[in-house]
Amino acid sequence: MLMRRAARPARHIGAEEAAALVRPGMWIDYAAVLAGPDAFDRALAARKEALHGVNIRSCIAARPRAVIECDPEGRHFNWISLHFGGYDRRKHDLGLAHYMPVNLGEIPDYYRRFIDPVDIAVIKVAPMDGEGMFNFGLANLWHRAVIERARCVIVEVSPAVPRAVGVDNGIHVSEVDYIIDSDPLPLPELPNPPPTEVDRAVAARILEEIGDGACLQIGIGGMPNAVCTLLRDANVRDIGIHTEMLTDGIAALYRAGLVTGARKQMDPGRIVYSFGFGSQSLYDTVDGNPDFLCCPVDYTNLPHSIMRNDNVVAINNTTQIDLQGQAASESDGHRHISGTGGQLQFVRGAYASKGGKSFICLASTYERKGERRSRIVTALTRGNIVTTPRTDMMYVVTEYGIANLKGRSVPERARLLIGLAHPDFREELEREAHAARLLPRAVF
């Protein structure tokens, strides 16, 4: 771990005094997910009339941000997110949030090589321990790289932050410029709606492909978490975990005694992740627990790390897939929804793993304005961003079936994907596929 030296010993100040350090045009880093500041955010919003052109970089705002709420026309603060959650998405729809295209596992390198130095970094942390360390909790990600590049580092201390055992998962007091107290709030929680029947049907098909000793990556969403639900009742032994996001579904598998990691080649016996977001039960499960290892995202997400474990099973969602196998998982046309995240890197890492498998799952249809539409299409919606290219696609799963596209020609792919579509749309897709020369010409 590269240690940054503060210019002077850390000083305990109020949030208002910390916010007064911000000047027009500065770049402020709000850390990511559960490490996002609250007291500093509120104090900075209160100074909006004295500021303009302040750029704030974040990732998955876990609760509403005062700097956005106080600035409905975006005249004072410019919000840039490395991955959208629901709040970021809604603010993007209003023109108040913007996305930076990234592979999540590359972000530490972006900070070290391409992103200009950060003027002020603000990170929510657990109270200092006896060795002078502030723990990042369930949010390791790229925070060490941010600290290396920051001119000023502020830690916002909250007793609600659990102490997560990890690699480089904290900052020493000697690296800190200022210490402030956080608002007396519990950590934000991510709702976990129960899986739908479609979620369960997709999960059941994936479950048939998961064997003893599989090393799982579970993405965000109902379908990946439904896999965890079904695994609790399946006779699969020695499950391992090497993932980007730690979810409630994974924690439930652990509490059920199904996760041993005994057959992992990399960090055997440990649940490896880069950030967690879920319920208080998840946070309590991880707090001080040495079975969980919170690591930088370039350790969890780079394909050459993922492939070091055998039998990696990567399970991720998409929102639309075309008949050649391109998956658009992060936008609806030009409307940004989420982000590339770790999907592409885990697709590639799982494929490179000995015995590995990658699953991209989706419901066959969705509803819009009372009309049912197909998520499997001849051509992607105009403006849609390709998250997983056709050349990387392995298994595609809907409630109607599962297909492996590796080694398949374009006509073979089109036929397989039409077979995964809802029956009401298959004839239309076949007609369009013939017209687009994806299938040989035919007369109807």
User: Read out DSSP for 273-294?
Assistant: ESEE-S-HHHHHHHTT-TTEEE
**Poorest-confidence range of 167-181, 221-235, 413-427?**
221-235
Give the pLDDT confidence of 15-24 residue by residue, as tens digits. Answer: 999 999 999 9
Active site residue ranges: 244
**Poorest-confidence range of 77-86, 169-178, 215-224, 420-429?**
215-224
| Nearest-angstrom CA–CA distance, 327 and 415 | 16
Q: What are phi and psi of 93, to 5 degrees?
A: -60, -25
Structural domains in the chain? 11-181 (3.40.1080.10), 197-435 (3.40.1080.20)
| Nearest-angstrom CA–CA distance, 215 and 254 | 13
Residues 6+ apart with CB under 8 A from 50: none
* Distances from the Cα of 312 to the Cα of 109, 203, 225, 326, angstroms: 25, 17, 17, 22
* Distances from the Cα of 155 to the Cα of 37, 56, 66, 128, 135, angstroms: 9, 16, 18, 10, 10
The answer to whether 348 and 360 have CB atoms below 8 angstroms apart is: no
Q: Which residue has the higher pLDDT, 226 or 327?
A: 327
Residue 368, SS3? strand
Question: Can you tell me the mean pLDDT for 122-147?
Answer: 98
Q: Is the pLDDT of residue 346 over 90?
A: yes
Rounded percentage of the chain residues whose pLDDT exceeds 90: 90
Q: Which of 135, 152, 200 is nearest to 28 (CA)?
A: 152
pTM for the full predicted model: 0.95
Q: Could you count the other beta carbons within 10 Å of the beta carbon of residue 419? A: 15
Instruction: Show the 3-state SS of 235-274.
Output: CCCCEEEECCEECHHHHHHHHCCCECCCCCCCCCCCEEEC
Question: Can you tell me the mean pLDDT for 267-285?
Answer: 97
User: Read out DSSP for 101-162?
Assistant: ---GGGHHHHHHHTSPPEEEEEEEEPPP-TTSEEE--SB-BTHHHHHHHEEEEEEEE-TTS-
Q: Which of 330, 333, 398, 324 is nearest to 359 (CA)?
A: 398
Question: Can you tell me the mean pLDDT for 338-352?
Answer: 97
Q: Is the pLDDT of residue 444 over 50?
A: no
Give the pLDDT confidence of 350-368 residue by residue, as tens digits. Answer: 999 999 999 999 999 999 8
Structure letter (DSSP) for residue 397: E
| Nearest-angstrom CA–CA distance, 404 and 339 | 24
Give the pLDDT confidence of 377-389 residue by residue, as tens digits. Answer: 999 999 999 999 9
| Nearest-angstrom CA–CA distance, 203 and 229 | 9
Give the pLDDT confidence of 286-316 residue by residue, as tens digits. Answer: 999 999 999 999 999 999 999 999 999 999 9
Q: How confident is the model at residue 442 (pLDDT cuts 50, 70, 90)?
A: low
Q: What's the mean per-residue pLDDT of the chain?
A: 95
The pLDDT assigned to 282 comes to: 97
Give the pLDDT confidence of 54-63 residue by residue, as tens digits. Answer: 999 999 999 9
Question: Can you tell me the mean pLDDT for 321-328?
Answer: 98
Structure letter (DSSP) for residue 61: -
The pLDDT assigned to 193 comes to: 86
* Distances from the Cα of 196 to the Cα of 144, 225, 399, angstroms: 39, 11, 11
